[in-house]
Amino acid sequence: MPILEVQNLTKKFGGLTATQEVSMTVEKSSITAVIGPNGAGKTTFFNMITGIYQPTSGIILLENEKINGLKPHDVSKAGISRTFQNIRLFNQMSVLENVLVGMHTHLKAGLLGILFNLPVIRKEEKEAEMHAYHLLDYVGLADLLNEKATNLSYGAQRRLEIARALAANPKVLLLDEPAAGMNPKETKDLTELIHRMRQEFNLTVILIEHDMKLVMEISEHIVVLDHGVKIAEGKPEDIRNNPKVIEAYLGSGAVQAG
């Protein structure tokens, strides 16, 4: 069953067409990769799905409900969370606080409740903290709860972003270049983490990634964008040998070993 359906998604920035009539269907609990050379429109595609950009035209359906037009906050509430290509953490906050921030939009407590420190709020905060701890343990950061985010290694910061995204309890998780800056060991751990999340949370994962080894290993379905256009999609073995895909990468001068 498809959980997410994107139909003819176009985004124009002035005279530049960042994505043009891109369509894709994402099956529930699947792992899909969106690949393509730099500037292909991958992040723009995520930005439209998450409500950061409004599409110029096209439709986005989450479980058959139209979600374009929703604000990022409401897209998150509807069940789509993400991480960012350029890590967006609160650098001076602790690891634990970063996850709590990710949770706050979903807590019942309003700002007033927090200001007046109501008992019901204190209970909710306690539970939020327990849940945040659980998520940090899950991504392997339980030892670093009180460390400032800025002091973490690159790989650890990326895992913290994943924990924060999970805090919103998503159905669909979008990862924008999760392995960027990771060493081979961190990338291997990430691969396992993504598999585990899908398995245990029944999560649907869509990732943008340049690491072709990771992409080929992890994806069930791959969508290839080039200059804003979908040039191919299919199983890893189909994509690996697709002449159009090879040409797109050769043309960009960005061939990566796979």
The residue (of 38 and 92) whose beta carbon lies closer to Mg ion is 38
Other Cβ atoms less than 10 A from the Cβ of 244: the count is: 11
Distance CA 165, CA 4 (A): 18
Six token digits for residue 50: 């998450």
* Site membership for Mg ion, residue 43 (CB under 5 A): yes
The residue (of 43 and 76) whose beta carbon lies closer to ligand ATP is 43
Residue from 3, 9, 40, 174 binding ligand ATP (CB under 6 A): 40
Residue from 1, 15, 38, 92 binding ligand ATP (CB under 6 A): 38
CB of 110 to Mg ion, least distance (A): 35
DSSP annotation of 33:
E
66-85: which residues touch ligand ATP (CB under 6 A)?
Answer: 85
Contact range with ligand ATP by CB under 6 A, out of 12-20, 66-74, 115-123, 124-132: 12-20
Q: Which residues contact 79 (CB under 8 A, 6 or more apart)?
A: 62, 63, 169, 170, 171, 172
Dihedral pair phi/psi, residue 151, rounded to 5°: -85, -5
Looking at beta carbons, which residue is closest to Mg ion?
Answer: 43
Name the nearest CA neighbour of 52 among 31, 81, 25, 29.
81
CB of 113 to Mg ion, least distance (A): 38
The residue (of 38 and 146) whose beta carbon lies closer to ligand ATP is 38
Q: Which residues contact 28 (CB under 8 A, 6 or more apart)?
A: 1, 2, 3, 202, 204
The residue (of 85 and 242) whose beta carbon lies closer to Mg ion is 85
Contact range with ligand ATP by CB under 6 A, out of 25-33, 34-42, 56-64, 216-224: 34-42
- The partner residues of 226 in beta bridges, in order of sequence, read 229
Rg (CA), the chain: 19
150-169: which residues touch ligand ATP (CB under 6 A)?
Answer: none
* Site membership for Mg ion, residue 44 (CB under 5 A): no
> Would you tell me which residues interact with ligand ATP (CB under 6 A)?
13, 16, 18, 36, 38-44, 85
